[in-house]
Amino acid sequence: MKKKSRLKIPFLAVFILLANLSLAQEIIEIHVSPTGSDSNPGTVDKPIKTLHKVTAILGNMDSAELPKIVVWLNDGIYRISKPIVIDSTVKKSGIPLKFKAVEGSRPTISGAVELKHWTNLGDGIWVAEVPKNLGIFREFFVKGKRAVRARHPNNEYLRVKEVGADRRTNFTYHTGGFPQPKNAGEVELVVLHDWSITRIPIKNIDKNINSIIAADSIGAKGLDFFNLDQWEPNPRYFLENDIEFLDMENEWYLDSSASKIYLKLPLNLNPSQLSIEVPLAESLMLLEGSEESPISNVSFEGISFQYCRWNIPNQTYAGIQACNFDTQKGNKEWAVVPAAIRTTWGTNIRFENCEFSSLGGSGIWLGTGSRNCTIKNCRLQDISGNGVMIGEGQDRLVSGEPWWKDAPQQAALGNTVEDCDISNCGVQFYGAVGIWCGLTAETMLKNNKVYNLPYTGISIGWMWSPEVTPCRDNTIENNHIHHVMQTLSDGGGIYMLGLQPGSKLIGNHIHDISVNAGRAESNGMFLDEGTKDVLVENNLIYNIAKSPLRFHRASTNIVKDNYLFSNGKTPGIAYNNTPLENIHQEGNKEISTDQLDYKVLLKEAMSKYVRP
């Protein structure tokens, strides 16, 4: 009797046509290039053109008995208008699937389209028609760099003169504070709170009484401490998106009612000489499994992810913290700024030597049910929201109860961010953080560089009390965090809260956190409400305007063998509503800059802690 083939015929046909099988290495290889064709067989000399075609091919494979699959990406830009989705219809088993850059190349997955056909209006200002498929957008890039949406003032802030009676919807401004907008209905009001911001359309500007009225409540509705004058009597604000604010090079203004975009360039430049791009895709990569059948063993190596849009729902962003925001629909209905790349119920998903940049929402999110996933040696920069997100907050329901009560086993578990370079996040949503972790367990954040951020560097935990949650055994180790808290207040290089038994903050190097304009102070490390059972050991913290380490309503924790350099009379450790006996101290060196040997001690500490 003739022996039957172990490969089903539909897959065999696809396999012969589209893949190279190396029996010695047991690898199926598919080659892709922006100069290829989707009718090609996917060989080295005849590559496929699009990644959407690749996922279609993978979906037609019967992969139950296949070896590893490698998708090789050649150099160039892979433009997409919708995300690449890897789910159970694409990846049907746990065999390894790798998307890898060809050696010496840097392929880019881009969610942008080029904008062309500009008309010169003089004085460096150009105008173009906005294609219908672009609609309204918030990001705009010239020569790969984010252009500034026209704002007033250009760099600093205005100050509220007097808050309105309801403390939420209106305020008066100082005479001559800003040029009167040509189209007030297109203007966005941006108000800074201590640790978050609100972006909201203007309903009306009354020039007779110098009053600005917002389209809705400024600040999250269900939280009274977002009243306009809660933190500062005269909070900071600025205005964005009007032709009257278009006064600096590389600023732009979108007139959505007329479907026109205006751009101001140096007088010697012509848009036809430049690459001008607008994000179109709302996400770039989605890996979507289920609790019963997680997506597993998918990796990405040497790939750049660039340009992704996110438009604020209902045009109002009432930030709460770390890119959670109030939808303004009810007393407490929160949402989260989405990420360009997201895993849901993913196991052993890996991103290595990748870059994430020029993104309109957040960067990459290891979401619900993500386990043993790794982000290693990656660079994240120029991101509107958070850089990296791990796990989730409190709000998702299971059987009518918060997930962390009814199904704590669903927590993100054992995920790692290591050797990454994370900077310039929170470009639009200033309350963003470099790395945000919710109610996660066994998370490892190690050897990362986190810097140049408007708010906190690393934030972990999402329960403002010592109530039991799945949050435990998280480690933040040997990270270099500096020049954060540059715009907002009440955060730090590391911000932590809630019961996290077995968690550790060890060997971190944190410096250069200056005073900002908010009411609350910012610190090297801020361990907020409910922080309990945490070890803070062997950290170096200096050049902090306030206390290097602060506790607020914290429970029992251990602080051991840290170098804490403080300024003048500022204490090395601040205790806000935290009994001193809650914090067990051992071997710490609290050093004031007033000490004569301060510089010697700092040099000694840096030689011990600063790593190559």
Q: pLDDT tens, 280-318? A: 999 999 999 999 999 999 999 999 999 999 999 989 999
What is the rounded average pLDDT of the residues 162-182?
95
Closest of 171, 123, 178, 125 to residue 151, by C-alpha? 178
When pLDDT is cut at 50, 70 and 90, the band that residue 2 belongs to is: very low
The string of pLDDT tens digits covering residues 461-477 is: 999 999 999 999 999 99
Give the integer Cα–Cα distance in Å for 453 and 422.
9
565 phi/psi in degrees, rounded to 5: -95, 125
Predicted confidence at residue 94, as pLDDT, reads: 87
Nearest to 109 by CA among 374, 358, 297: 358
| Res 332: pLDDT | 65
What's the pLDDT at 9?
33
Instruction: Quote the pLDDT of residue 65.
Output: 63
Q: Is the pLDDT of residue 608 over 90?
A: no
Tell me the pLDDT tens digit for each residue of 96-133.
999 999 999 999 999 999 999 999 999 999 999 999 99
Beta carbons of 341 and 111 less than 8 angstroms apart: no
Q: What band does 12 get if pLDDT is binned at 50, 70 and 90? A: very low
Q: Is the dihedral of CA 47, 50, 51, 57 positive or negative?
A: negative
Give the pair of three-digit tokens for residue 229: 């004058």
Is residue 23 very low, low, confident or very high in pLDDT (cuts 50, 70, 90)? Answer: very low
- Encode pLDDT of 528-561 as tens digits: 999 999 999 999 999 999 999 999 999 999 999 9
* SS3 labels along 514-525: CCCCCCCCCEEE
What's the pLDDT at 7? 36
Going from N- to C-terminal start, the domains of the chain cover 97-109+282-609, 113-278
Cβ-count burial 209-233 (b if 16+ within 10 Å, e if not): ebbbebbbbbbbbbeeebbbebbbe
pLDDT at 611: 64
pLDDT over threshold 90, residue 233: no
pLDDT at 14 over 70: no
Query: What is the structure's pLDDT at 63?
Result: 63
Residue with the bigger pLDDT between 567 and 410: it is 410
pLDDT band at 328; cut points 50, 70, 90: confident
Query: What's the N-to-C CA distance of the chain in angstroms?
Result: 66
Which tens digits make up the pLDDT trace of 26-71? 789 999 999 999 999 999 999 999 999 999 999 988 766 678 999 9
Is it the case that residue 427 has pLDDT exceeding 60?
Answer: yes
Tokens 């700024």, residue located: 337
Mean pLDDT of the chain: 92
Per residue in 486-535, pLDDT (tens digit) is: 999 999 999 999 999 999 999 999 999 988 777 789 999 999 999 999 99
Any idea how long the chain is?
A: 612
Q: Would you tell me how many other CB atoms lie within 10 Å of the CB of residue 596?
A: 6
Among residues of the chain, what percentage have pLDDT more than 90?
A: 85
Q: Using pLDDT thresholds of 50, 70 and 90, give the confidence band for residue 420.
A: very high
Question: How many Cβ atoms are within 10 Å of 53's Cβ, its own excluded?
Answer: 19
Q: What tokens does 411 get?
A: 């927590």
Instruction: Quote the Cα angle for 38-41-46, to 5°.
Output: 85
By CB atoms closer than 10 A (0-12, 13-18, 19+), residue 403 is buried
Query: What pLDDT, on a 0 to 100 scale, did the predictor assign at position 215?
Result: 95
Alpha-carbon distance of 483 to 316, in angstroms, equals 29
Phi-psi region at 502: left, alpha or beta (left = phi > 0; alpha = psi -120 to 50)? left
Tokens for 363?
A: 């960067």
The C-alpha atoms of residue 67 and residue 377 are separated, in whole angstroms, by 27
Pair 137, 275: CB distance under 8 Å: no
Residue with tokens 């590893």: 68
Question: Residue with structure tokens 């900077």?
Answer: 423
* Sheet with 112-114, side-by-side order of all strands: 112-114, 276-279, 141-142, 145-146
- CA-based torsion, 486, 308, 395, 406: positive or negative: negative
DSSP secondary structure string, 219-271? S-TT-GGGSTTSS-SS-EEEEE--GGG--STTEEEEETTTTEEEEE--TT--G
Contact by Cβ (8 Å): 320, 193: no
> What does the alpha-carbon distance between residue 360 and residue 593 come to, in Å, rounded to a whole number?
41
Phi, psi of 184 (to 5 degrees): -60, -30
Q: Which two tokens stand for residue 89?
A: 């219809």
Residue with tokens 């600025």: 238
Residue % of the chain over a pLDDT of 70? 94
pLDDT digits (tens, 9 = 90+) for 369-399: 999 999 999 999 999 999 999 999 998 999 9
- The H helix count followed by the E strand count for the chain is 4, 59
CATH of domain 97-109+282-609: 2.160.20
Residue 267: pLDDT above 50?
yes
Q: How many CB atoms lie under 10 A from the CB of residue 476?
A: 30
Burial-class residue 292 by CB neighbours within 10 Å (0-12, 13-18, 19+).
exposed
Distance of alpha carbon 227 from alpha carbon 193, whole angstroms: 9
